[in-house]
Structure 1
Amino acid sequence: MAHNSQDTDIRSVWPRVSAGVNEIMANLMNGMSHGRYIELHTVIYNYCTSSRAMTHESHGGPHRGANLMGSELYNHLKDYLRNHLSVMRADAQTRVDEELLKFYSTKWTEYTTGAKYLNHIFSYLNRHWVKREIDEGRKTIYEVYTLCLVSWRDHMFAQLQSSVMAAVIKLTERQRNGETIESGLIKSVVDSFVALGLDENDSKKSTLDVYKVYFEKPFIDATDAYYSAESEKFLAENSVPDYMKKVETRLYEEESRILTHLHNTTTRPLSRACEDVLIKRKLPIIVEEFQNLLDQDKTDDMARMYSLCIKVDGLDGLRTKFETHVRRMGLAAVEKVSDGGAAPAAATAAKKPAAGKEDEGEEAQGEDKEPGGVDPKVYVEALLTVHKKYDAMVKEAFKSDQGFVAALDKACREFVNRNKVCKVNSSKSPELLAKFCDSLLRKSAKVAEEGEVEEALNNVMIVFKYVEDKDVFQKFYSKMLAKRLVNEASASDDLETSMISKLKEACGFEYTSKLQRMFSDMALSKDLNTAFRSQQEQNHDATDLLDFSIMVLGTAHWPLQPPNTGYTIPEDLIKTYDRFQRFYNQKHNGRKLNWLFNMGKADLRTNYMKQKQQCTFQVSHFEMAVLLQYNDRTKYSWDELSQQTGVAADVLKGQMGILLKAKVLLLSNGALGDSNSQYELNEDFKSKRIRLNLIVPVRSEVKQEADETHKTVEEDRKLLIQAAIVRIMKTRKVLNHVGLMNEVITQLSARFKPKVPDIKKCIDILLEKEYIERTEGQKDTYSYVA
């Protein structure tokens, strides 16, 4: 193909090309015809291809000529862009603030649009000469579009970027101050800064270096300065809760700003900067206000404080204050009820009278305040009220944050186990909790719906979770369960089973194994009674039979102690007693029955009253032994009753006191327990009830039983500690003193918190028994003796 000399000479080619470039860069592309576009493209194409043909003839090869002629065209374009941008820059430098941004934004849009068209017109140069130069490693050669960007960066951006950023910052401040701005101006600046991030090693790749250095950093620095000043001023004139609302608003605004006109990579740096200046630097002031919010129960403000502080890992101070506050509230609630006050609010089952119970004469026992102590129901409700309040606060204000959950648990553990009630006896909480369970599960004149009691038992388990001496609870609970079962006083077998299941889930099978065995014995006893009654009906006349039932219970899992007094079985019972002994020995040869007369009860029907009233007395075995004497006479001395019943004086005194208080017997002379005192049957006795319960716990006996239970717990603990030490040493073989102490505490903490002196005593006992020995030559180190 023949070429005109004008197609090969850069001096004649460039004026024709530059005219078209002018049209494009002046944003006249829309008016350029397709023919004009093809003409420009053809001129450049002819220049590049003709140069290859010409230099092949004159220089012996096409490669060198193509490089030379492509370089001249490229350099002319590069000079043109520099000059074009210099004129534009001079115009820009006469403008400031928003006017500068509008100019910059408009020119950037026009320039990049023109650059895209130039890239198409010079496509042949890009595909051949530019590609060859780049392949040969020339870092300063770019495709035409990239050359346009580099030129803008070097001759426009470099000189204007500080002025442009200053204008952006001012415009942003106006927006922060509440003015409406043209956010598209900032978006255009951001786009230009992002587009100018060119990879020096690969011109086709881009980076965010320019945006990060020249836009993001000064923007964040300005944001820091703006909010530092604003926060200082706002806090000086407003409250902390109002300040937190302001911070929430500001953080939301900054998030919206990122979405509308900043690059998405600025999200975290800008958020972190705002959080730092608005929250972290003001954290001491915010945390200080937390106590006031707690005192006033400002849940919404605390939720706001939590959501702000969690952004800067600033929750430790709040958690510490929360824990201290909850502990203080718990201790105050217990102190109030221990001084005779009522629980702040009901947290357990509401009770209501049951029809027909009054005539039966059954009365609630054990719900009254214990001697020198506090009502178990009021005490537990006080603990639950505090927990319920702050548990709801943790869920609502602190989104069930694990740190606050742990703080609540730690505080509750403190005020449950170390409060005013526990000062005299550190194990008082589990004892009172067990007594409260007893009041819920025992039949009484006050009954509740089964669902309400179930809910109350769930609340009991909340407190139980925090009790450290769970072994104390187990001892008292098992004793009270035994009494409920023996006296047939359980409100519901389903509720009893449900409670045992809850305890099993909390502490494991071993914790409740004895409790479950009690129910098995009760079932076996029913079968035994049925068999004995059937035999008696076959072998004896009906008039010779008593309405008799008995419970045969295993000593290994029933916490019942034989009476510490003598007892002479009344003549009316001797026959039945002997018959059952023979029946049981035939059925279970080799077993021994230990009779617990102190746990027995009887119904005595009366026909001695002058008013001809008949009444049924429900009495203990010892009371029965006394009253049956009056079938023969109406008056006895103390010595006579003591001798005929065989009951020890201190026990008899308590039983007689109940009969005297109920006016069943009358003391005619002397004082209760005196040898010469006389006790006469009150034939003028009256009662509004046809059934009268005379089984009333003697307060001194109740206290003595509690003391004995605590003593039993201490003895059991010594054995558990020793067993744990042997178990650990058998596994470890050799262990130092501190390590052994720590492992013992860890192993036993689920049941109780062992005291260091007790562990030391048990170590000494095992050293004496030669289960372990001191390691020779090593201080405070023990070895297991196989």
Structure 2
Amino acid sequence: MPPPPAKSGLPDSRDLNATWHFLEQGVDHIMTRLSEGMSYKKYMDLYTVSYNYCTSSRMNSGGVNETIGTGGGGGARSGANLMGADLYKHLQQYFIGHLKQVREEASDLTDEPLLRYYTREWDRYTTGASYVNRLFTYLNRHWVKREKDEGRKNVYIVYILALVSWKEYFYSLLQSGGSNKLTSAVLKLIEKQRNGETIETDLVKKVIDSFVALGLDEADTNRQNLEVYKSAFESPFIAATETYYKAESEQFLAGNSVTEYMKKAEGRLQDEENRVDLYLHASTRKSLIQKCEEVLVRNHAEIMQEEFQRLLDQEQEPDLHRMFLLLSRIPSGLDPLRERFEAHVKKAGLDSVERSVGSTTTTAAPATASNGAAAADAKDKEKKEVAVEPKAYVDSLLVVHRKNNELVAKAFRGDQGFVASLDRACREYVNRNAACPSANKSPELVARFADGLLRKSNKASEEADVEQALSDTMTVFKYIEDKDVFMKFYSKMLSNRLIRDTSASEDAESSMIGKLKDACGFEYTSKLQRMFQDMQLNRDLNVAFKEKMAQTHDSGDLNVDFSILVLGTAQWPLSPPNTKLNMPAELVKSKERFEQYYLNKHSGRKLTWLWQHSRNELRTLYTPQKYFFVVSTYQACVLLQFNSSGSDALSYSDLETGTGLNADTLKPVLALLVKQRVLELKDGDTYELNLGFKSKKIRVPLNVPVKAEQKAESAEVMKHVDEDRKLLIQATIVRIMKSRKTMKHQQLIAETIDQLKARFQPRVPDVKKAIDAMIDREYIEREEGSRDSYRYLA
């Protein structure tokens, strides 16, 4: 709404001199004495006079022509435009005159007094300019806008005109002649703060805010730029920061430890972050922090990296964390740390395994005093065999992993580079250590550790404890290179647990299989799951068989409690027996009855009896105390020979003839029975029942595996592993060639190894042999004219 008509006492709008004299008094009051206050009436009178002057030419049809001076753009103009130009010019001249007086009072000031004066005047000037800007609202909206729309240069709204005048007639003169008095004063105040002195941060903030406000875009005054701020402050500030911290860091390191320096650097970086928030423009953050990181961290990175090993050895987690945070700020700052960490973990793992392993030596033939040379040869040939207890071995691996995994999580914030270094180090010490001369041994020990956890004899009865132990097993399993070896041993041991009913819990078994499946996929555990399916089928089979026998035979005829496990050949890692066996009469009937029942039910199937995995319970009738012997079928056949012969003593040849067992099987069976004092060896080859046998147990387990059997089992497993690997390598080569059709020799080897490394680490010679085998079998052929390229044959 336009203001009301002019009141009496106000100047005539057609009289420029009277109008400006009235307005000038009001403008000067606002710019210099605003703190004294101004009545609302006075302010509205000023507004009315400004409005009336700018519109007076439109209210009078006549007009006069004048030449417009500075600010009007030059040329002859008329009407309202003429009046606006003169008013604009007078305002501009007022600002110039006012700022000359301000400049004179600042001419002798420097440093902090200059800042106090500058900020006080800036506050007063900008506050007054904003009120004056509102007084001349009509001038801004119409005359200034029209001038700008017509492309006139150096024409601004009143507030921007005030800022432009400040920049040209006060600020620029303070900074002129290379003195940069204002910038210098700000930098000195900031340096005082860095030195620990208390300063008035408002002084710095207001000066810096003025630098930002003076960054006016000439093309668009509604948009600011940071040219003044960057040239007047940021550039010299960054340079001063570099100089300050370069001197301070070198001096501090000369008299303090690296760990103390890291605390200092960490504090300084935080100080600069806070400084940005406190009084700097946000755009300075990046360049300031980068410069501080360069001076405080990168320039001294090598010294900190050298200190890393000592901090690791002394387990100084807070200092390691501090070093990580500092060096993570610079490119490649963490790479040397990751390399040292990997070497540290590897060494710690190898040392841990070595401490946990005890060694024994096999005894050589004793040498006589006259045969010194032979004794020396025997000593040289004496072989050391490392005896490893699976639990101690796995615990020694886990203690290093847990410790360093926790360090990575806390000190290094789970950084992926350190995680990768930890994984590489663990892979090394898990597969190649004092307990494992070859990579094949570690998978076996881990499988035996899992076997111990899942047996009924495991002391960890709590379900949560077993679950945690299985998770620990999987931690080690992750680093095993030859996962196929682990699976061979694990499936062998699982089959023994299931056959002998020594598994502690089906839930625990299922949990372990689930973990293996998650780690390696469904195919890896498919046979294990089918083994459990067979066990469920066998429960139903035994119930049905016993019901059938009860229907077809008298109870007196069924004097043997008989149960059977029918196991699928494809999924169970079991081999047929390597010896003939003459079944005792006591067992023949049960065997024949089941064969007839099963083959009638499943025509076309073949049963192979695995006597080496069978168990029997015999009740003694010859001892004063009645015992139940838990024996293998081979042991049962030996002991039942004494029943059929009617004698308490039998020769080795009698037992060999009666049982049909070969010497490799019979001799260990007899040796074990003698060792357990069930039999007594007389005259070198006669075995006699120990009629005075005594034991603290009523149910006496005699079927205890011997170390020789374990060694033979390990050798047999590795033999199967080698065979499976050959087939797997060949199948992988065919699969790759089928999809690629043609391929170079080195590419085929590389891709084959890459696809198989999740299961085991193939050797290049083995891959080459497999390629030759596939050529011989006409799956692939060499391309004509090239000996290092292959082509797939459909």
Normalising to structure 2: TM-score of the pair? Answer: 0.88
**Aligned counterparts, 1:568-717, within 5 A:** 568-609=582-623, 612-631=624-643, 632-670=646-684, 677-717=685-725
Cα deviation 1:247-281 (Å, max 9, x = unaligned): 33223332332223222333333333333322233
User: Do the aligned partners of 1:55 and 1:64 also contact (CA within 8 Å) in 2?
Assistant: no
Instruction: Decide which of 526, 539, 542 is 1:513's aligned counterpart.
Output: 526
Equivalent residue number for residue 396 of structure 1 = 410
Distance 1:565 1:606 in 2: 27
Equivalent residue number for residue 139 of structure 1 = 153
Cα deviation 1:470-515 (Å, max 9, x = unaligned): 1111111111111111111111222222211222222222111211
Cα deviation 1:331-377 (Å, max 9, x = unaligned): 22122223469xxxxxxxxxxxxxxxxxxxxxxxxxxxx97431111
Which structure 1 residue ranges, 5 or more long, are not aligned? 342-369, 671-676
Equivalent residue number for residue 364 of structure 1 = none
1:28 Cα shift? Answer: 4.5
Equivalent residue number for residue 495 of structure 1 = 508
Equivalent residue number for residue 189 of structure 1 = 207
**Aligned counterparts, 1:26-45, within 5 A:** 26-28=32-34, 30-34=36-40, 36-37=42-43, 40-41=46-47, 44=50
Instruction: Decide which of 331, 339, 354 is 1:320's aligned counterpart.
Output: 339
- Aligned amino acid, residue 116 of structure 2: K
1:405 Cα shift? Answer: 2.2
User: Do the aligned partners of 2:358 and 2:386 also contact (CA within 8 Å) in 1?
Assistant: no
1:185 Cα shift? Answer: 0.7
* 1:331 corresponds to 2:350: yes
1:564 Cα shift? Answer: 1.2
SS at match of 1:234: helix
Equivalent residue number for residue 765 of structure 1 = 773
CA 1:621–1:34: 2 relative to 1, 3 Å: closer
- Aligned amino acid, residue 452 of structure 2: S
1:469 Cα shift? Answer: 1.2
- Aligned amino acid, residue 568 of structure 2: G
CA 1:87–1:446: 2 relative to 1, 3 Å: closer
Identity, % of aligned positions:
54
Distance 1:521 1:32 in 2: 101
Cα deviation 1:700-740 (Å, max 9, x = unaligned): 22111111111111110111111111111111111112222
Equivalent residue number for residue 29 of structure 2 = 23
1:526 Cα shift? Answer: 2.6
Equivalent residue number for residue 263 of structure 1 = 281
Instruction: Decide which of 239, 242, 264 is 1:221's aligned counterpart.
Output: 239
Instruction: Decide which of 729, 740, 751 is 2:737's aligned counterpart.
Output: 729
SS at match of 1:198: coil
**Aligned counterparts, 1:142-161, within 5 A:** 142-161=156-175
Instruction: Decide which of 459, 463, 472 is 1:459's aligned counterpart.
Output: 472
User: Do the aligned partners of 1:27 and 1:114 also contact (CA within 8 Å) in 2?
Assistant: no
Distance 2:536 2:169 in 1: 100
Equivalent residue number for residue 309 of structure 1 = 327
Cα deviation 1:299-324 (Å, max 9, x = unaligned): 22222223333333433333222222
RMSD across aligned C-alpha pairs, in angstroms? 2.8
**Aligned counterparts, 1:340-351, within 5 A:** none
* 1:79 corresponds to 2:93: yes
1:785 Cα shift? Answer: 0.5
Distance 1:87 1:276 in 2: 45
Distance 2:707 2:350 in 1: 28
Distance 2:140 2:460 in 1: 95
User: Do the aligned partners of 1:55 and 1:62 also contact (CA within 8 Å) in 2?
Assistant: no
Indicate the larger mover: 710-719 or 232-241: 232-241
- Aligned amino acid, residue 338 of structure 1: V
CA 1:515–1:630: 2 relative to 1, 3 Å: same
SS at match of 2:435: helix
SS at match of 1:584: helix
User: Do the aligned partners of 1:56 and 1:62 also contact (CA within 8 Å) in 2?
Assistant: no
* 1:476 corresponds to 2:489: yes
User: Do the aligned partners of 1:139 and 1:201 also contact (CA within 8 Å) in 2?
Assistant: no
User: Do the aligned partners of 1:664 and 1:685 also contact (CA within 8 Å) in 2?
Assistant: yes
Distance 1:296 1:275 in 2: 27
Distance 1:450 1:48 in 2: 93
What is the count of residue pairs matched by the alignment?
Answer: 749
User: Do the aligned partners of 1:371 and 1:699 also contact (CA within 8 Å) in 2?
Assistant: no
Distance 1:256 1:183 in 2: 12
User: Do the aligned partners of 1:337 and 1:378 also contact (CA within 8 Å) in 2?
Assistant: yes
SS at match of 2:221: strand
User: Do the aligned partners of 2:13 and 2:53 also contact (CA within 8 Å) in 1?
Assistant: yes
User: Do the aligned partners of 1:323 and 1:411 also contact (CA within 8 Å) in 2?
Assistant: yes
Indicate the larger mover: 303-312 or 48-57: 48-57
- Aligned amino acid, residue 315 of structure 1: L
CA 1:130–1:497: 2 relative to 1, 3 Å: closer
Distance 2:149 2:703 in 1: 108
Cα deviation 1:587-623 (Å, max 9, x = unaligned): 22222211111111211222323xx122222111222
- Aligned amino acid, residue 638 of structure 2: V
Normalising to structure 1: TM-score of the pair? Answer: 0.89
Distance 2:81 2:600 in 1: 123
| Larger RCO, structure (CA 8 Å, separation 6 or more) | 1
Indicate the larger mover: 265-274 or 433-442: 265-274
1:551 Cα shift? Answer: 1.4
SS at match of 2:472: helix
SS at match of 1:422: coil
Distance 1:575 1:31 in 2: 123
CA 1:590–1:31: 2 relative to 1, 3 Å: closer
User: Do the aligned partners of 2:66 and 2:82 also contact (CA within 8 Å) in 1?
Assistant: no
Distance 1:54 1:84 in 2: 37
Equivalent residue number for residue 246 of structure 1 = 264
Instruction: Decide which of 436, 450, 456 is 2:449's aligned counterpart.
Output: 436
- Aligned amino acid, residue 228 of structure 1: K
Which structure 2 residue ranges, 5 or more long, are not aligned? 68-74, 361-383
